[in-house]
Amino acid sequence: MIIEVFVPPIAQRRFRRVGLGLATRLVVALGLVCLLLYPVMASDRPALRAEITVQRDVVALGDLLEGVRADLADRPVFRAPALGETGTIQAVRITDMARDLGAGVVETLGLTQVVVTRAARRIDTQEIDAALRKALESRSGLDARNFTVVFDGTPPSLLTDPAETGEVEAKDVVFDPRSRRVVATLAVGTGAEIKRLRVSGQAVERRARDSVSQDARIDVARVAGQVARRPLSIGTVIRTADLTRPEIVARNETVLITYETPGLVLTLRGKANEAGALGDSITVVNLQSKKTLQATVAGPGRVRVTAPGPGRVASAY
């Protein structure tokens, strides 16, 4: 940029009379004016944006640069990240691309990269569950209000274009009434833009808490580590009487009998007359003496015998 300053003839004659001092000061003043005008001049250049969100699968030059010429703004220059993903583009790649396209010098504003996010519509597990229940209601006669689908593995979700406003549909639904297993394909969109997701899970009945008997309202923490006393079908309401501690000693199993008393530990082999869980009291037979003993289940295949009174150790074992 060239700044021309008109100096009237009378001023020119005065410059000659006063010498170079005034002229020097005038040059300095003009320099300060140029420095003040520099930001204005620089603002005419396109500038990098720090972060952008794009709707399409390509990134245009106008997405990356603010103030780029209108004829270049829609020019595609990079591929966008996958739906819902975020990536970065190095600033030097953008400035080189802009220069090659004729956009001129780009103001980087100190940025080394631009963060690019691809917009997406996320269809969450709740929407997928609703679509499956709707399909099962119309095809299998189930009441969608009385069950939910517990999915296998990680709760599913589906990403699609943010402009896609259609409902997700469950297709190719396979339902086994006996096991209540369900497999289906979720789809949203039309034509080439359709997105699909394969899911599987179990249709589990939902019941109001007030309709469940008191003995079925079991604390989940108490259920952990227990086993069912009888086969339970899917959807069965579990009651306290249905659960028990797992048996770790089986009936007629050969066990290791441990007898401990201060200063003495005896171990011998025996046979369990009964099955038992950890801490249960059962009877076992000493395989050497053939005597029946009362023992406590101490672990898998192990029992512990309570010490008898003084002076009876030899006769008892």
Are 47-119 and 247-316 equal in CATH topology?
A: no
Q: Under DSSP, is residue 308 helix (H, G, I), strand (E, B) or coil? A: coil
* DSSP string computed for 5-24: ----HHHHHHHHHH-HHHHH
Go through 242-257 and write b for each residue having 16 or more CB atoms within 10 A of its CB, e for each that does not. Answer: bbeeebbbeeebebeb
Q: DSSP letter at 107?
A: B
CATH code for residues 247-316: 2.30.30.760
Mean pLDDT of 25-47: 56
Strands 254-261 and 264-272 turn out to be antiparallel
Cross-strand partners of 268: 257
Asked if pLDDT for residue 315 goes beyond 90, the answer is no
- Among 19-28, 131-140, 257-266, name the most confident range: 131-140
Mean pLDDT of 287-310: 86
What is the separation of C-alpha 102 from the centre of its chain, rounded to a whole number of angstroms?
A: 43
Asked if pLDDT for residue 297 goes beyond 70, the answer is yes
Predicted confidence (pLDDT) per residue in 136-191, tens digit: 998 888 888 888 899 999 999 999 988 888 899 999 999 998 888 999 999 998 77
Structure-token match 């008191």, residue found: 214
**Cβ atoms 56, 79 nearer than 8 A:** no
pLDDT of 210 reads: 55
* pTM listed for this prediction: 0.51
Asked if pLDDT for residue 5 goes beyond 80, the answer is no
**Cβ atoms 217, 157 nearer than 8 A:** no
Q: What is the C-alpha separation between 132 and 169, in angstroms, rounded?
A: 8
Residues 6+ apart with CB under 8 A from 242: 228, 229, 230, 232
Structure-token match 């010098």, residue found: 105
Cβ neighbours, 10 Å, residue 101: 15
pLDDT of 139 reads: 86
Q: DSSP letter at 3?
A: -
Helix segments in 116-203, DSSP class H: 125-140
**Cβ atoms 100, 61 nearer than 8 A:** no
Q: What is the C-alpha separation between 267 and 257, in angstroms, rounded?
A: 6
Higher pLDDT, 219 or 151: 151
CATH code for residues 47-119: 2.60.480
Asked if pLDDT for residue 310 goes beyond 60, the answer is no
Retrieve residue 1's tokens.
């940029």
Per the prediction, the chain carries an average pLDDT of 81
- Among 189-198, 214-223, 266-275, name the most confident range: 266-275
- What whole-number percentage of the chain has pLDDT above 70? 72
Where residue 314 falls among pLDDT bands split at 50, 70, 90? Answer: very low
Helix segments in 86-163, DSSP class H: 91-100, 125-140
107 exposure class (CB count in 10 Å sphere: 0-12, 13-18, 19+) = middle
Q: What is the C-alpha separation between 6 and 32, in angstroms, rounded?
A: 17
Residue ranges per structural domain of the chain:
9-42, 47-119, 123-205, 209-244, 247-316
